[in-house]
Amino acid sequence: MKFDIDLDKCVGAGVCAIAAPEVFDQNDSDGIIVVLDPHPSPDQEAAVRDAAVRCPAAVIKLTEQ
């Protein structure tokens, strides 16, 4: 699966880091999203989808299945 990140919208809520901790983390300096794995394996798909739905600022956009 593939996704795009809109960094400008991120408010550092950190929901992605609990929904998909193997794919997303937070920057130490401002809490903004950090992508740990830009090409997540199929077993991470549900977690990434969950992160995209729960992100309060709609930062993560799924672009490809």
Q: Which residues sit at the interface with another protein, rule CB under 8 A?
A: 9, 11-15, 17-18, 21, 25-32, 50, 53-54, 56-58
Contact 24, 36 (CB under 8 A): yes
CA distance 7 to 35: 11
Least Cβ distance, residue 15 to another protein (angstroms): 8
Q: How far is the CB of 30 from another protein (least distance, A)?
A: 5
Q: How far is the CB of 48 from another protein (least distance, A)?
A: 14
Alpha-carbon span 53 to 59, nearest angstrom: 10
